[in-house]
Amino acid sequence: MKTKNITFKLTFFAAWLLTISFFGCKPDDFQKLDERNWSLVWSDEFDAAAGTLPDAAKWAFDLGTGEGGWGNAELQNYINNPENISLDGEGNLVITALRNGNGFTSARIKTQGLFAQKYGRFEARLITPYGPGLWPAFWMLGENILTSPWPQCGEIDIMELRGQEPHIISGTIHGPGYSGGNPITKQYALVNNRFDADYHIYAVEWDENKIDFFVDDFLYQRIERNDPPGEWVYDQPFFMILNVAVGGNYVGFPTSETPFPQKMVVDYVRVYKEVK
Amino acid sequence: MKTHFIKLLHYVPMGLLVLLFLSCERDLEDLKPAEFASNPEIFIDGFSAGLNYAAFGASVPTAFDLDKAVSYNNTAASMRFEVPDAGDPRGAYAGGSFFTEVPCDLSPYNALTFWAKATQAADIDVVGFGNDLGESKFQVTILGLAVNTNWKKYIIPIPDPSKLTAERGMFFYSEGPEDEKGYTFWIDELKFENLGTIAHKQFSILNGEENVETAFVGVTKSISGLSASVNLPDGVNQKVFAASAYFTFQSSDPSIATVDAAGQVAVVGGPGTAAITAKVGSEEAQGSLTLESMGNFEQAPVPDKAPEDVISLFSDTYSNVPVNYYNGYWAPYQTTLSADFEVNGDHILHYTDFNFVGVEFSSPTVDATAMTHLYMDIYLPNALPSNAQFKIELVNQGAAASAVYSKTITTDQAQQWISIDIPFADFNGLTGTDKLFQIIFVNENGAMSSFYADNIFFYDDGTPPPPLTEPDVPAPTPTVAAVNVTSVYSDAYTAIAGTDFYPNWGQATQVTEVEIQGNKMLKYAGLNYQGIQLAGGQNVSAMTHLHLDFWTANSTALNVFIISTGPVETGIALSVPTTGWVSIDIPLSQFAPVNLNDVIQFKFDGNGDIYLDNIYFRK
Helix (H) / strand (E) element for B168: namely strand B167-175
Q: What is the mean pLDDT of chain A?
A: 89
- Phi/psi of residue B46, nearest 5 degrees: -170, -175
Strand order in the sheet with B227-231: B8-13, B51-56, B94-104, B167-175, B122-129, B140-147, B237-242, B227-231, B199-204
Average pLDDT over residues A16-31: 47
Q: Is the ipTM of this complex over 0.90?
A: no
pLDDT for the residue numbered B43: 86
Binned at pLDDT 50, 70 and 90, residue A10 comes out as very low
Q: Residue A1, Cβ neighbours under 10 Å: how many?
A: 26
- Do residues B486 and B538 make contact, with C-beta atoms less than 8 angstroms apart? yes
Residue type, B108: P
Q: Is the predicted pLDDT of residue B34 greater than 80, yes or no? A: no
Q: Where are the domains of chain A?
A: 38-274
Q: Is the predicted pLDDT of residue B471 greater than 80, yes or no? A: yes
Binned at pLDDT 50, 70 and 90, residue A238 comes out as very high
pLDDT for the residue numbered A30: 67
- Check A259 against B200: CB less than 8 A apart: yes
- Check A167 against B235: CB less than 8 A apart: no
pLDDT for the residue numbered A19: 41
**How far is Cα B139 from Cα B4, in angstroms, rounded to an integer?**
15
User: What distances in angstroms separate CA A61 from CA A64, A112, A118, B232, B454, one per listed residue?
Assistant: 10, 9, 22, 33, 61
Exposure class string for B577-587: b at 16+ Cβ within 10 A, else e: bbeebbeeebe
**How far is Cα A148 from Cα B365, in angstroms, rounded to an integer?**
81
Give the residue, B341 or A161, on which the prediction is more confident: A161
CATH of domain A38-274: 2.60.120.200
Residues of B within 8 A of A255 (CB-CB) are 236
Q: What percent of chain B has pLDDT over 70?
A: 94
pLDDT for the residue numbered B536: 86
- Do residues B27 and B16 make contact, with C-beta atoms less than 8 angstroms apart? no
A165, A196, A257: residue with CB nearest B199: A196
Strand order in the sheet with A108-110: A60-62, A108-110, A238-246, A134-142, A155-160, A168-174, A184-189
User: Chain B 228-247, CB below 8 Å of chain A: which residues?
Assistant: 231, 233-237
Binned at pLDDT 50, 70 and 90, residue B465 comes out as low
DSSP H helical ranges for B195-238: none
* pLDDT 10s digits, B340-355: 888 888 999 999 889 9
Q: What is the mean pLDDT of chain B?
A: 90
* pLDDT 10s digits, A75-84: 999 999 999 9
**How far is Cα B13 from Cα B16, in angstroms, rounded to an integer?**
6
- Alpha-carbon A222 to chain mean position: 17
Average pLDDT over residues B91-97: 94
B195, B196, B231: residue with CB nearest A130: B231
Helix (H) / strand (E) element for B292: namely strand B288-296
pLDDT for the residue numbered B16: 38
**How far is Cα B194 from Cα B191, in angstroms, rounded to an integer?**
10
pLDDT for the residue numbered B264: 94
Q: B208 in contact with A at a CB cutoff of 8 Å?
A: no
CB proximity list for B504: less than 8 A, separation 6 or greater: none
In the residue annotation, A160 being an active-site residue is answered as yes
Q: Is the predicted pLDDT of residue B478 greater than 70, yes or no? A: yes
Q: B1 in contact with A at a CB cutoff of 8 Å?
A: no
**How far is Cα A239 from Cα B233, in angstroms, rounded to an integer?**
33
Q: Is the predicted pLDDT of residue A31 greater than 90, yes or no? A: no
Instruction: Measure A227 CA to nearest chain B CA, in Å.
Output: 33
Sign of the dihedral through C-alpha B202, B206, B210, B215: negative
- Check A166 against B236: CB less than 8 A apart: no
Binned at pLDDT 50, 70 and 90, residue B17 comes out as very low
Cα A16-A31-A237 angle, rounded to 5 deg: 70
Q: B202 in contact with A at a CB cutoff of 8 Å?
A: no
Instruction: Measure A105 CA to nearest chain B CA, in Å.
Output: 19
Of all residues in chain B, the one with the smallest CA distance to A134 is: B235
The reported pTM is 0.68
pLDDT for the residue numbered A29: 57
Q: What percent of chain B has pLDDT over 90?
A: 78
- Check A196 against B200: CB less than 8 A apart: yes
Catalytic residue among A74, A123, A143, A160: A160
pLDDT for the residue numbered B161: 96
Average pLDDT over residues B599-603: 95
Q: Is the predicted pLDDT of residue B214 greater than 50, yes or no? A: yes
Binned at pLDDT 50, 70 and 90, residue B559 comes out as very high
In A, what residues contact B, Cβ < 8 A?
130-132, 134, 163-167, 190-194, 196-197, 255, 257-259
Q: Is the predicted pLDDT of residue A9 greater than 70, yes or no? A: no
Residues of B within 8 A of A192 (CB-CB) are 195-197
Give the residue, A22 or A262, on which the prediction is more confident: A262
A132, A191, A197: residue with CB nearest B235: A132
Average pLDDT over residues B397-410: 90
- Check A197 against B237: CB less than 8 A apart: no
Of all residues in chain A, the one with the smallest CA distance to B199 is: A197
Average pLDDT over residues B404-427: 92
B196, B200, B235: residue with CB nearest A193: B196
Q: Is the predicted pLDDT of residue B472 greater than 70, yes or no? A: yes
| Lowest-confidence segment of A19-33, A250-264, B74-88, B475-489 by average pLDDT | A19-33
User: What distances in angstroms separate CA B218 from CA A155, A229, B314, B347, one per listed residue?
Assistant: 68, 79, 20, 11
In the residue annotation, A74 being an active-site residue is answered as no
pLDDT for the residue numbered A16: 39
- Check A197 against B235: CB less than 8 A apart: no
Instruction: Measure B232 CA to nearest chain A CA, in Å.
Output: 9
Residues of B within 8 A of A190 (CB-CB) are 196
